[in-house]
Structure 1
Amino acid sequence: MINKSNSMMKKLSIILITALIAVTHSVNATSFALNDYNLVTIGDVNSSSLHVHGNAFVGGNLNAGNAEFGNDINNTTALELAGELQQNVRIHGGNSAEVNGSAVQEIDMNGVATGRYLVNGNAISNASSVTQNAQLSAQQAAIKASLESASAQFAAMADVNTQDISGNKLHVNSLDSNGYAVFQLGEKVNSGDAADIGKNSFLLSNSNQDLEIVYNLSASTLNELGGIIINVPGTEIDFSENNNKVSGNGFLSSLQGRANVLWNFFEATSITLNANFYGNILAPLAQLTSSSDIDGSVAVYGLSAQHSGQIHLPTSTIPTPPSTVSIPEPSVVALMLLSLLLLVRRHNAH
């Protein structure tokens, strides 16, 4: 009887350990949406005209006139829409679209497919297919949590390297042990003129700056590069106020360069751009208002694109920061241990 109990205990212990590993793994397994999408919003997209050259995940409603998706990709899903379609959109490159729970009606002409589909009375045209995906709401919640976590992790990365900001140039002089170069651009303004509270001190005190990234390391180090992270403090970020902008020269002149640069607006609730922007944008709490093109992927809470704003590839190649091994929530561990104890007692009782 004792041997059987010991055997049962061993089996149950193995089951518990396996379950704990599975729980821990699931916590770490979340993908970084900026690597997967050219545009990600947690909430709505509102625009008079918008072209997304890669693929997009829209977590809220899509209210964008003359909107086009997938200009530079082929035979994949160019649009995933978790909210409602509120204006007509167009899909390029033989790409498809997925919508959340809305009835999809394909329009044909004398039995011949036209690539035109009605969703909520609005049309998705030129698509290879439009299908319903009931998991998009759950996916939106997962992406929201993942982006907020990644932004906080990047913000917590200290500038321990020998980076320096000289005038309008951000010099990359070294990489940390994980291949990152980290900058902090200014501080959040917390005192002084009431109109300036919450703004970014660098953008507020500088004007007509074309911010440029200068990569002072050898080309061979690009294979080790995890990413160039520029953390930008402040709840209200306005590049247009003093006519500051990001230059497409230097490191940001190439697709590889833009894919390896992340502008992390970790506490911003509003961002305004009025000139072309280069590099990837991570701002999971912010409403982004842009009247210009963005060369890089965008992950924001909401987007208001004015005029003929375009979002170009590439997508980010920057992974989320490495973190310590995740520990399951205490409630999960306690529940597993209680279940194990009850099973053992039940077994011994027999």
Structure 2
Amino acid sequence: MLNAFSSRRTALMSAAALATLLAAAPALAANPPSADAGLQALRDYNLIVLGNMTSNSDVEGRALVGGNLSGSGTMFTSPHGQSTATLPGVVVGGNLSGNFNLNNSSGAWIGGNDTATVNLNGVQTVKVGGSVTHVPNLNGSTLQQGIGSTAALSGLPMSLADYATSLSTLSTTLAGLTTTQANPVSLVSNNLNINVTGGGTGLAVIDLNDSLLNGNQVSINTEGYDTVVINVFNTVNTADSYHFNPGTFSTNAQTKIIWNFVGATTLNVQGQFEGSILAPLATLTNNTQINGSVAVDNFTQGGEVHMLNYEGHVSVPEPAGWALMILGFGGVGGLLRRRRAPEAA
């Protein structure tokens, strides 16, 4: 009788231990820092180009270009409260060339040479690692040139290489998540409706065939969710041309949606786009406005990028973390079974 009681108590202890571990699961499954940094980058910047960018339009919020920035445009046109205290409006890892306006005291950090004609609107600080060909009219602004790339880019939350790694990790992590929605997509007469249901407030995940985006009017209801990840899987090749027609979006949906273009290497957006674009392997070309954060490899800009940055606050579960956690459960179960064995004898 004593042995039976002891065995039952041990079994209850096992259940209690497992319950404790399950309660701690969200913490154990948290993202690695690099993926979290990728999410934060989408909040911090309106535009991130890991490679080179050719501009023929404007960017409302902060822009980070890891390679060279050329062309013309106005940067930091309408930052909507983004502070310039810690991060400048424009960061260029390589060289700057062309003609640009830097508005709203944005400031600029340029790792290479500056051969552009730059108009500074508002008092700001411009740091240039190399030489400056055309010294702008400073009007009280500060210009530091020839200070080297390291000094010019000093103050970034992480290196340019780490930005690339974090965004790549984020895209891979999001692509590996299991969809949380059952049949969220309907297509009726070229009207693509995406309805997120379930009454949740955290993270919703949807998988989408890329062919559904081309030529259809897209309407999205994000319900009360903090973040809606739409993993766009390319079923034919890695080059896509999207004629995106925005329909009806729920309130502030653009700041909640991350379009994760999984594995895409070329994106041609031919219509107004709503929500953040995450495509760290892709060369993006657009000819109309994008309303959301943009993170791509290279960018040929023909339309404005508007300040509707990603504003979610979720912690995205990391599949590898869940796998390790499950293995941990198995180890705890085995240990408890071994502890019970002498009592059964």
Instruction: State the TM-score, normalizing by the size of structure 1.
Output: 0.66
Secondary structure of the structure 2 residue equivalent to 1:316: coil
Aligned equivalent of 2:42: 34
Cα deviation code 1:199-255 (max 9, x no counterpart):
x3434xxx631111024x4xxxx3xx331111111211211xxxx41415232xx4x
Q: 1:175-254 alignment to 2 at 5 Å?
A: 179-186=202-209, 200-203=210-213, 208-215=215-222, 217=223, 222=224, 225-234=225-234, 235-239=238-242, 244-251=243-250, 254=251
The question of whether the paired residues in 1 share the 8 Å contact of 2:91 and 2:108 is answered with: yes
Q: CA deviation at 1:268?
A: 0.4
Shift of residue 125, structure 1, vs aligned partner: 6.9
List runs of 5+ in structure 2 lacking aligned partners: 1-30, 145-150, 322-345
- Output the CA distance in 2 between the equivalents of 1:104 and 1:286: 27
- CA–CA distance in 2 between the matches of 1:87 and 1:105? 5
Question: How many correspondences in the alignment?
Answer: 264
- 1:133 deviates by 1.8
Secondary structure in 2 aligned to 1:52?
Answer: coil
Q: Which residue of 2 aligns with 1:55?
A: 62
Q: Give the drift of 1:83.
A: 0.9
Matching of residue 150 in structure 1 with residue 150 in structure 2? no
How far apart in 2 are the matches of 1:89 and 1:106?
6
Q: State which of 28, 49, 53 in structure 2 corresponds to 1:45.
A: 53
Is 1:133 the equivalent of 2:152?
A: yes
Aligned CA distance change for structure 1 residues 212 and 26 (closer, same or farther; 3 Å) = closer
Structure-to-structure mapping, 1:4-153, within 5 angstroms = 30=37, 32=39, 33-47=41-55, 49-65=56-72, 67-73=73-79, 76=84, 77-102=88-113, 120-121=132-133, 128-131=141-144, 133-135=152-154, 139-153=159-173
Question: Following TM superposition, by how much is the alpha carbon of 1:324 offset from its aligned partner in structure 2, in angstroms?
Answer: 7.0
Question: Are residue 315 (structure 1) and residue 327 (structure 2) matched?
Answer: no
What is the distance in 1 between the residues matched to 2:52 and 2:117?
25
- Determine helix, strand or coil for the equivalent of 1:283: strand
User: Is 1:162 aligned to 2:162, yes or no?
Assistant: no
Displacement of 1:46 in angstroms is 0.9
Is the 2:48–2:63 contact (alpha carbons within 8 Å) kept by the matching residues of 1? yes
The C-alpha deviation readout for 1:100-133, integer Å capped at 9, x for no partner, is 15479999xxxxx997978542566779445552
Report the CA distance shift for 1:123/1:86 in structure 2 as closer, same or farther (over 3 A). farther
CA–CA distance in structure 2, aligned partners of residues 130 and 175 of structure 1: 52
Give the match's secondary structure for 1:170.
strand
Relative to 1, partners in 2 of residues 1:275 and 1:133: Cα closer, same or farther, differing over 3 Å?
same
Give distance in 2, aligned partners of 1:212 and 1:105. Answer: 41
Cα 1:139/1:279, change in 2 over 3 Å:
same
Please state how far the C-alpha of 1:70 moved relative to its aligned partner. 0.9
- Indicate how the Cα distance of structure 1 residues 95 and 201 shifts in structure 2: closer, same or farther if over 3 A, else same: closer
CA distance in 2, matches of 1:104, 1:291: 26
For the pair 1:295 / 2:291, whether they are aligned, the reply is yes
Given candidates 256, 261, 265, the residue that maps to 1:265 is 261
SS in 2 for 1:303: strand
The 8 Å contact of residues 258 and 280 in structure 1, kept in 2 or not, is answered as: yes
Q: Hey, what's the Cα distance between the residues in 2 that align with 1:229 and 1:161?
A: 11
Q: Scaled by the length of structure 2, what TM-score is found?
A: 0.67
Three-state SS of the structure 1 residue aligned to 2:262 is coil
2:115/2:134 contact within 8 Å kept = no
| Preserved CA contact (<8 Å) 2:49 2:66 | yes
Describe the shift of the 1:130–1:139 C-alpha distance in structure 2 as closer, same or farther (beyond 3 A): farther
1:27, distance to aligned residue in structure 2 (A) = 5.9
String of CA shifts for 1:45-64, please: whole Å, max 9, x gaps.
013x2200001001110012
